[in-house]
Amino acid sequence: MELEILAEPTVLESTVSHLSRAKLPKILKVQQAIVRASHDFMFKKGLTQLMPLMLSPITDPLNHGVVDASITYAEQRWSLTKSMIFHKQLALMHPDLDSLYIVSPNVRLEFADRADTGRHLFEFTQIDFEFKGKDRFFVMEFMEELVNFVFKRLNEEIPGLIQELRGELLPQYEKWPVYRTEKLEAQLGPDYEKIKSEEATDPFWLLNHTREFYDKEDPKRPGTYLNYDVIWPEGFGEGLSGAEREHEYRQIRKRMADVGTNEQAFTHYLEVAKEGRIPKTAGGGFGVERMTRFICRLQDIDEVTAFSRKPFTKAVF
Ligand code: ASN
């Protein structure tokens, strides 16, 4: 018997086969329904929609390293958007804008170690929102309500697709459990987030991550932070991150020093902060592809994309 040696598919072949998966149009329909329902929810709640920016002199420094994605244009440097966190804060300086949201494409050129996590893409979309004068309790309730609204809509509008892809219709949740990172870590060790997500049947909140300078430090418990993540259950992991924000000049500079942010990159942002013009806000952003993945119970987030955006993978389109 002759052994057939299978040649590795070319990048073009794998791109075309990724694009031709039978399930893809159904997954995309679910994703479309999520975005439509989210728009309706935001409209109902009175948030104003901002169009996304893809290039800016400042972007989210993130709390993990990625490959630099910036270009020179008009004799200055522009970064591709990693998140619109600063633009959310700055837009809310307008006295007549109290809340806003953006369907925001983000480019994060992850290193190869995030290629197979199942939940990273090097380009994705988050629905990012921010409220002036609100706190974490308000935002957490808002997100819980959004999820029930979206899930109910999907059950009504595309029940057949949800049944087929998920295996059952979507639930309505009661109040979500709330945990703190330091307590879970003490109980479960360094993999606490993964372990807890795998055990859970409902989404839950995880408070107090040590992260970027813009997440507010708890004035009552210095060294802890007023931020919150949504963790999807069944092992699907993080689905949203958000926080109350630092908005006072001295505290922003202290936090920048704590996390080692280069102040020079934020000269103009700091000038605005020094004038006391950055309002007190809180908000968050959820990954659209991650919500789609959770709803459709997909192993790999890249199954949600028409054109693969798996970290560190070559593409021809
Ligand atoms: N959107 C997130 C937030 O509002 C920030 C991020 O994506 N890194 O906190």
pLDDT on residue 278: 98
Which pairing describes strands 76-80 and 237-244: parallel, antiparallel, or unpaired?
Answer: unpaired
285: Cβ below 6 Å to ligand 1? yes
* 212 CA closest ligand 1 atom index: 8
Q: Which pair of structure tokens corresponds to residue 215?
A: 């997440």
Q: What is the mean pLDDT of residues 188-214?
A: 97
pTM: 0.96
Helix, strand, or coil here: 282? Answer: strand
Backbone angles phi, psi at 122, to 5 degrees: -85, -5
Q: Where does the pLDDT of residue 3 fall: very low under 50, low under 70, confident under 90, or very high at 90 and above?
A: low
Q: Where does the pLDDT of residue 236 fall: very low under 50, low under 70, confident under 90, or very high at 90 and above?
A: very high
The model's pLDDT over 39-56, given as tens digits with 9 standing for 90+, comes to 999 999 999 999 999 999
pLDDT on residue 7: 83
Q: Which of 193, 261, 191 is nearest to 230 (CA)?
A: 193
* Contact between residue 122 and residue 71 where contact means Cβ atoms under 8 Å apart: no
Q: Which pair of structure tokens corresponds to residue 310?
A: 């798996």
Query: Does the CA dihedral 300-301-307-310 come out positive or negative?
Result: negative
Q: Where does the pLDDT of residue 194 fall: very low under 50, low under 70, confident under 90, or very high at 90 and above?
A: very high
Q: What is the mean pLDDT of residues 164-176?
A: 98
Q: Where does the pLDDT of residue 8 fall: very low under 50, low under 70, confident under 90, or very high at 90 and above?
A: confident
The neighbour count for residue 83, using CB atoms within 10 Å, is 21
**Gap between the Cα atoms of 300 and 292, Å rounded:** 11
Mutate to test the pocket of ligand 1, among 84, 88, 107, 128 (most ligand atoms within 8 A of CB): 128
Ranges of beta strands (E only) in 13-65 are: 48-49, 55-56
Q: What is the mean pLDDT of residues 27-35?
A: 98
**With pLDDT > 70 as the criterion, what percentage of the chain qualifies?**
99
Q: What is the mean pLDDT of residues 269-295?
A: 98
Distance of CA 3 to the CA centre of its chain: 47
**Gap between the Cα atoms of 289 and 119, Å rounded:** 9
**Gap between the Cα atoms of 34 and 136, Å rounded:** 24
Distance from Cα 126 to the centre of ligand 1, integer Å:
9
* For ligand 1, atom 7: residue with the closest CA: 83
241: Cβ below 6 Å to ligand 1? yes
Q: Which of 103, 108, 104 is nearest to 122 (CA)?
A: 108
pLDDT on residue 48: 98
pLDDT on residue 6: 76
pLDDT on residue 5: 73
pLDDT on residue 2: 63
* 215 CA closest ligand 1 atom index: 9
289: Cβ below 6 Å to ligand 1? no
Distance from Cα 163 to the centre of ligand 1, integer Å:
31
Q: What is the mean pLDDT of residues 34-41?
A: 99
59: Cβ below 6 Å to ligand 1? no
* Contact between residue 292 and residue 254 where contact means Cβ atoms under 8 Å apart: no
**CATH superfamily assigned to domain 9-179+261-304:** Bira Bifunctional Protein; Domain 2 (3.30.930.10)
